[in-house]
Amino acid sequence: MNSSLILVLMLLCSSIGCSKGGNSNNSKAPSVQAANASQNRLDTATTLQFSVTLSSATTGMASVQYATSDGSAVAPKDYTSQSGTLTFQPGQTKLYIAIKITGDSLRQSAQNFFLQLSNPKNCSIATPKATGTIINDGTYLPTDESGYTTPTSYPGYHLVWSDEFDSTAINTNDWNFETGGNGWGNHELEYYTPRTQNAFVSSGNLVIEARSEQYGSNNYTSARMTTANKKTFQYGRIDIRAKLPVSAGMWPALWMLGSNISSAGWPACGETDIMELIGKNPTQVVGSFHWLKSGGAEGTVNNAYGLSEDFSKHFHVFSLIWEKDSMQILVDDNVYVLGDAQNINSGTYPFNAPFFFIFNVAVGGDWPGPPDGTTQFPQRMFVDYVRVFQK
């Protein structure tokens, strides 16, 4: 072959982009990539859809092979594995791969699996792997039911109202959801929502769940439920069986406010804290009565009750025995706070009027301080029942 012919061939090859890999290695060939995708898992099977995009349309066909692989999600338990070839027809720039997600109502951490791209034809691969995330926000969350319990009747009392949380959803005829993330007067850090991500019923328990997640301008979410204007009570024995979150920054509470709060304001309406726990004191709960003293200061009568183990290990029963001019707060039938008209004697005694319930889990605030590096989310309070007995 003479030198002139060789030169012509070299120039021709350069002009059409010769390479050993053909068009898949052509620097002018479009690139393909798959985007990460997520899907909320439901009780029944659903579909997670990956989108696969070609950077520009071609006049010919382009293709890429794909295959799923396990991460924390495992096939076939969590999803159906799949492999194949995607072919972009002339002019096409986006295709989809639908992966079947197995139905499951168990609430657990999110799970991941992967989509791997390989063997491109007439294109290149920009990103070889995409992540599929299965969000497990189901409303089935079993928990150890062991612990202290109380009877369904007492001599001299009759049951006037209870919520055993045995239905499939929270009864909104009895319960309200308060919402917002304004600190709630205590510089709390959560945003309270009405979502099932933050409050739901499972296996006979109410679950209030605090999460570490961005919501509005807040970095945490939780729930705050009340019976205001729906279920109010004056006197009786109240039993609430619950298991508590105990990590740093947690502030679960089972409490009551005077039903006249909108007109009297706080603390003149009165506040009864049947149970509060501060995460830095995981083996101790506090019971309190708050009211408005003469001169305008807040009055408080309270005491702490301690265990040898923390309050997340088992269920305990937090009770209030409430009579005219007299109140007692109990844990597992042990009285540890006394409040009456004799020691609440400055200002107007507010505890002979109707009150309503509040159940919530706060994150942070002036009393517990913020979560720290030891706090693992989500954090949950389980409530087995609330019962109100009256004479």
By percentage, how much of the chain surpasses pLDDT 70? 93
pLDDT band at 9 (very low <50, low <70, confident <90, very high): very low
- Helix or strand (DSSP H, E) at 120: strand 111-121
Mean pLDDT of 259-287: 98
Catalytic residue among 164, 276, 298, 309: 276
Does residue 5 surpass a pLDDT of 70? Answer: no
Lowest mean pLDDT among 9-18, 104-113, 354-363: 9-18
- Mean pLDDT over 154-176 rounds to 97
DSSP class of residue 5 equals H
CA distances from 363 to 86, 181, 218, 377 (A): 47, 11, 11, 11
**pLDDT given at position 194:** 98
Among 4-18, 80-94, 158-172, 322-336, where is mean pLDDT lowest?
A: 4-18
Q: Indicate the pLDDT class of residue 27, thresholds 50, 70 and 90.
A: low
Reply yes or no on whether the pLDDT at 248 is more than 50.
yes
Q: In this predicted structure, what is the pLDDT of residue 16?
A: 39
Q: What percent of the chain has pLDDT over 90?
A: 92
Active site residue 309: no
Residue 76: is the preceding peptide bond cis (ω within 30°)? yes
Token look-up 């009786």 returns 236
What's the pLDDT band for 13 if we cut at 50, 70, 90?
very low
Express each pLDDT in 179-224 by its tens digit: 999 999 999 999 999 999 999 999 999 999 999 999 999 999 999 9
Query: What is the per-residue pLDDT across 371-389, written as a single tens digit (0 to 9) for each?
Result: 999 999 999 999 999 999 9
Tell me: pLDDT of 22 over 50. no
pLDDT category of residue 3 using cuts at 50, 70 and 90:
very low
Of residues 29 and 192, which shows the higher confidence score?
A: 192
Looking at residue 28, its pLDDT comes to: 79
**Is omega for the bond preceding 267 within 30 degrees of 0, making it cis?**
yes
CA–CA gap between residue 339 and residue 349 (Å, rounded): 11
- Which of residues 153 and 21 earns the better pLDDT score? 153
- Of 190, 213, 271, 323, the active-site residue reads 271
- b/e per residue, 201-232, with b = 16+ CB within 10 A? bbeebbbbbbbbeebeebbbbbbbbbbbeebb
pTM: 0.89
pLDDT of amino acid 1:
47
Report all structural domains of the chain as residue ranges with CATH numbers, in order of start: 21-135 (2.60.40.2030), 158-390 (2.60.120.200)
Nearest Cα to Cα of residue 158 among 390, 361, 354, 335: 390
Whether residue 232 is predicted with pLDDT greater than 50 in this model: the reply is yes
**Res. 117: pLDDT tops 50:** yes
* Residues in contact with 134: Cβ distance below 8 Å, sequence separation at least 6, in sequence order: 38, 39, 41, 48, 73, 78, 79, 101, 110, 111, 112, 113
For residue 2, pLDDT beyond 80: no
pLDDT of residue 289: 98
pLDDT of residue 20: 34
Q: How many CA atoms lie within 13 A of 73 on its CB side?
A: 31
Query: Do residues 27 and 122 make contact, with C-beta atoms less than 8 angstroms apart?
Result: no
Q: Count of alpha carbons within 13 Å of 138, Cβ hemisphere only? A: 20
The average pLDDT across 255-284 equals 98
164 assigned to active site = no
277, 264 contact by CB (below 8 A): no
